[in-house]
Amino acid sequence: MQNGDEIIDKFKSLKLSGANVTVPHKENAYKLCDDTSELAKEIGAVNTLVLEKNRVIGYNTDALGFYRSIQSFGDIKTALILGAGGTAKAISYILNKNSIKTTILNRSEKRLGAFDKNNFETFTWDNFIPRDFDIIINTTPAGLKDRNLPLDEQILLKLMERAKYAFDVVYGKFTPFLELANKYELPYKDGKDMLLHQASIAFNLFYKNKFDLDKIERFMKNSINLS
Active site residues: 26
The helix/strand/coil state of 220 is helix
Closest CA to 142 of 179, 113, 109, 114: 179
Contact yes or no for 82/150 (Cβ under 8 A): yes
Cα separations in angstroms, 118 against 102, 104, 185: 11, 12, 34
Q: Is the dihedral of CA 104, 194, 151, 101 positive or negative?
A: positive
Cα separations in angstroms, 82 against 9, 49, 149, 202, 209: 31, 26, 10, 25, 33
Q: 192 — phi, psi (to 5°)?
A: -60, -45
Contact yes or no for 171/148 (Cβ under 8 A): no
Closest CA to 184 of 171, 166, 172, 169: 166
Closest CA to 64 of 37, 103, 104: 37
What is d(CA 166, CA 148) in angstroms, rounded to the nearest whole number? 16
